Amino acid sequence: SQQGEEDPQALSIQEGENATMNCSYKTSINNLQWYRQNSGRGLVHLILIRSNEREKHSGRLRVTLDTSKKSSSLLITASRAADTASYFCATVSGGFKTIFGAGTRLFVKA
Amino acid sequence: DTEVTQTPKHLVMGMTNKKSLKCEQHMGHRAMYWYKQKAKKPPELMFVYSYEKLSINESVPSRFSPECPNSSLLNLHLHALQPEDSALYLCASSQAPGQSYAEAFFGQGTRLTVV
């Protein structure tokens, strides 16, 4: 079953621009994570935000979490062509059950 | 070593074949997972093993049979699959279940085609 819904489904931007992806979820969570996937291969963990946190930064990534609205956003600043990938939010409940959102396909044009 | 290794990378099998997918990690993780991913869709959880015991089976058909022989290995045995089972199969691991603030490490997946 799918927990998170992501918006937009696809995003095309120029190199140097910022990219913002949003995720909404339905049930209570322990934490929310963002993953990246290149070309249908393995997923790489980007950042985790706990349910009691509101914002977190890691390099060019900024994640926010609004538990009252059951939503999160991922901002990638100063995007690069190498950031082209699919990005998924994932919610964790029940200790270790990770459910992925629909994903946003990001295309960064050089 | 922060890798999850999956073999084979690609697999083509007939509907009457029996094959196995393998997954290995040496990070001391005690939770291991199988996911199925169709093109342009998110990964869907299939099974979760916690301390080598099956904890979650997301109503997966019996033609998929998981096995966790030890804390480092996870297998997925395939038998009598259908063409619609063609997908990318991803293995993942994370620290001990119950530690919910743990990221999952993913293998590169096995691209399965059922003919």
Band (pLDDT 50/70/90 cuts) for residue A2 is very low
Res A94: pLDDT: 66
Res A85: pLDDT: 97
Whether A5 shows a pLDDT value over 80: the answer reads no
Whether B90 shows a pLDDT value over 60: the answer reads yes
Of A74-78, A95-99, B72-76, B107-111, which gets the smallest average pLDDT? Answer: A95-99
Q: Which residue has the higher pLDDT, B22 or A1?
A: B22
Q: Determine contact: A58 vs chain B, CB below 8 A.
A: no
Res B103: pLDDT: 83
Q: Do the bridges between strand B73-79 and strand B18-25 make them parallel or antiparallel, or are there none, so unpaired?
A: antiparallel
- Candidates B51, B101, B105, B111: best to mutate against A (most CBs of A within 10 A) is B101
Structure tokens at B80: 């009598």
pLDDT digits (tens, 9 = 90+) for B17-73: 999 999 999 999 999 999 999 998 999 999 999 999 998 888 899 999 999 999 999
Q: Determine contact: A30 vs chain B, CB below 8 A.
A: yes
Distance from CA of A83 to the nearest CA of B (A): 17
- Pick from A15, A80, A92, A82: which is nearest to B102 by CA? A92
B window 32-71, beta carbon within 8 A of A: 33, 37, 39-45, 48, 50, 55-56, 58
CB B43 within 8 A of CB A100: yes
Quick one: average pLDDT of A37-56? 91
Q: In chain B, which residues have their Cβ closer than 8 Å to the Cβ of A35?
A: 106
Q: Say how far apart CA B110 and CA B68 lie, in whole Å.
A: 17
CB A94 within 8 A of CB A47: no
Res B89: pLDDT: 98
- Beta carbons of A45 and B104 less than 8 Å apart: yes
Q: Determine contact: B2 vs chain A, CB below 8 A.
A: no
Strands (E), chain A: 5-7, 10-14, 19-24, 31-37, 43-50, 55-58, 61-66, 71-76, 85-93, 97-100, 104-109
- How many CA atoms are closer than 13 Å to the CA of B64, on its beta-carbon side? 19
Res A30: pLDDT: 82
Band (pLDDT 50/70/90 cuts) for residue B98 is low
Q: Do the bridges between strand B31-37 and strand B87-94 make them parallel or antiparallel, or are there none, so unpaired?
A: antiparallel
